[in-house]
Structure 1
């Protein structure tokens, strides 16, 4: 057995700054969060000491564990890719087996040693997912008894093949995960085929609907946001909130979340308006736009999670890069959370910006991904789609003068904050 401890001679190989960490949601059939896949890419900064799958995977696992799985995945499961070399290490001894699923590629050579090690870890309570499945690999039948989840990439496996493979794995009582789901049509096809879980950004793609109008509750929040950003006094703002009972109750619940950081409970709207201030009130109204559809039975939870994570990450990045300009952090949060409103409303972004008064630099960031805030937004989008856009991360980091270890720490903080918000918002 190869020993690989996060403290010891290998510690230099596990430095945070040597990789990027991405987190991609895995949703259930109702589009509620089930798990995250933790994705990493080697960052070519300084001496490239992470040179193989073993040390790269070890780095992700070690740091996810040291920083706390709660910060990384919240209450969800974490899926992590492992290869045969990683499986043969002792790195799993300090990991929370109840929170982790180990992904093994179907292309991994099936040897007696691999089967023996997987059986040993399985007996210890670890769960396995079989990844990159196309159903043709030799030795597949030997891996299946040890596997709980089977992942099929819908970009690699065509629909006719999926129609043959899905029933076969369901007969073997395997839980099916469709990955790289990029459109609503792909999601529906996999839903019809009996897939249990779905990974991909189909839920974040705007479906523009001609002539669509905002719902009454969304209009109420939008009108209140306009009032908050105007010169209206607190009494007028408070009266506007009170006109919509559900809006008032939801706002009070949101401002009492741990993410706000208030020491004492806020029990009245006048307190909320006074304590929060206009900028903070605007922030929670923006969040409520995403939370509101979920309360009416529509599955907007993943969009709420993605928007709050983006907003918080951009805010923290702006605070790091422009510490003397607090307004930059507030603008960055607005850019992050507004960047998904075209998906939320089913309207072109330009139409939304015509209804919400924003500055020229916010408009440039949202429509053209240009300027300081546009660069921050591009970075967040690259991290979310790290599998396809990792080559764009380093140039953006260099342009912004952000180190990869700073980025990881800010990401963790954004993950944790977003998970807190979503938990209390719904």
Structure 2
């Protein structure tokens, strides 16, 4: 999209929620802590080919997300949003909380004197800018450099030789560097060495299988407790097992008293927790505690916890909508979503994890082979995370579960809000 476009976002026909798909992609810092999300939109009305990264017609979508409450979509971190010439020249910015957004200037935008003046004005008003998909230090890039804080490099478009050449120039200009499309640990390590500040991509969710890796004692205790629950053990036996592990007991009671659980009165004992929560809910909080455990050692695993909790909640909500009269399907869907990243969490193959914790065939089919209803729900969640690459498959799965894009948007925002709440309370 260039500044010569005849489209003007200020006058664009308002897009309704039902016409787009939303994704949020985590951005992490050098210590792997979650610092931001990039918000990506795909136009659902015109088919899978149209990824609205240039966003001219999607200005009203941003407004909608802001009116809805940006914090529901991104929690208490920053939100990166693409802006093109039409959006920059529009009045959309009155909707955006300047302290919580970073505006990404799209690489195809022609830099005119009017555009420079507008960006300067927005910077003075307190907005922060990133320059997206930089591949050279061209004249346009040089013009924008004094006005932007962050330079983004897409690793799929950048040979290492170009990165080695460009990164020192931008670092010497005191710009923060962000690597996007980081897909594996090797790419992350390379960018870390080059002095990158931020990293976007799903490298942190990829399992790195370590041979002979064993679960920690506390993880083992939680897994054994989960097995007790799924094997329908006696309540007194479950209670005894929780009380035998002091830190497990303490953390469980702390967790069940957080707002995300939604219990109206304070829970003070394991027995009370079991009575009020029931076994399915207890199982859920134990699964969350598995992801929370590394946080206590000072390793920030919040992105993995947030992603797993989001998947769990989204699958539960999809299942509820798909079959509203069957509560057990929703509980199973949650389990599939949250367990889908346990191979990454433990660095152990999924098949080995499923040997240690008893699950029904439908769950193992979904986790190992992405088969059946739950496998399809999981694939839908995975496609939403990587919305730019999802293609027709996303549309087919949305249709398969009889969802409109508006339904899916509402379910996602609920899942985002819930998982962010959980992540904030486990530390």
TM-score interval, normalised by the smaller of the two chains: over 0.9
Aligned equivalent of 1:254: 255
* Separation in structure 1 between the aligned mates of residue 16 and residue 107 of structure 2, nearest angstrom: 30
Aligned equivalent of 2:28: 27
**SS class of match (2:152):** strand
Aligned equivalent of 1:124: 125
Aligned equivalent of 1:135: 136
Q: CA deviation at 1:105?
A: 2.3
Structure 2: gaps spanning 5 or more residues = none
* Separation in structure 2 between the aligned mates of residue 62 and residue 159 of structure 1, nearest angstrom: 38
Q: CA deviation at 1:4?
A: 5.5
Q: Which region of structure 1 is more displaced relative to structure 2, 126-135 or 36-45?
A: 36-45
**SS class of match (1:80):** strand
Judged with a 3 Å threshold, the aligned counterparts in structure 2 of structure 1 residues 223 and 52 are, in CA distance, closer, same or farther, namely closer
* Separation in structure 2 between the aligned mates of residue 95 and residue 18 of structure 1, nearest angstrom: 21
Residue 391 of structure 2 corresponds to residue 421 of structure 1: no
Judged with a 3 Å threshold, the aligned counterparts in structure 2 of structure 1 residues 164 and 296 are, in CA distance, closer, same or farther, namely same
* Separation in structure 2 between the aligned mates of residue 50 and residue 358 of structure 1, nearest angstrom: 38
Q: Deviations over 1:152-201 (max 9, x none)?
A: 11121122221221111111111111111000011111111111111000
The normalised TM-score by structure 1 is 0.95
**Cα RMSD for the two superposed structures:** 2.0
Aligned equivalent of 2:407: 406
Q: CA deviation at 1:249?
A: 1.1
Q: Which region of structure 1 is more displaced relative to structure 2, 228-237 or 186-195?
A: 228-237
Aligned equivalent of 2:103: 102
Q: CA deviation at 1:49?
A: 12
Aligned equivalent of 2:92: 91
Aligned equivalent of 1:80: 81
Q: CA deviation at 1:233?
A: 2.2
* Separation in structure 2 between the aligned mates of residue 30 and residue 55 of structure 1, nearest angstrom: 35
**SS class of match (2:390):** helix
Q: CA deviation at 1:51?
A: 8.8
1:197-276 paired onto structure 2 within 5 Å: 197-276=198-277
Aligned equivalent of 1:355: 356
**SS class of match (1:182):** coil
* Equivalent residues, number: 421
Q: CA deviation at 1:94?
A: 2.1
* Separation in structure 1 between the aligned mates of residue 57 and residue 254 of structure 2, nearest angstrom: 41
- Is contact 2:56–2:86 with CA below 8 Å preserved after alignment? no
Judged with a 3 Å threshold, the aligned counterparts in structure 2 of structure 1 residues 103 and 67 are, in CA distance, closer, same or farther, namely same
Q: CA deviation at 1:244?
A: 1.2
- Is contact 1:78–1:101 with CA below 8 Å preserved after alignment? yes
Structure 1: gaps spanning 5 or more residues = none
**SS class of match (1:208):** coil
* Separation in structure 2 between the aligned mates of residue 166 and residue 424 of structure 1, nearest angstrom: 37
Q: Deviations over 1:342-380 (max 9, x none)?
A: 111111111111111111111111111111111110000
Q: CA deviation at 1:52?
A: 9.4
Q: Deviations over 1:375-413 (max 9, x none)?
A: 110000000011211432111111111110000000000
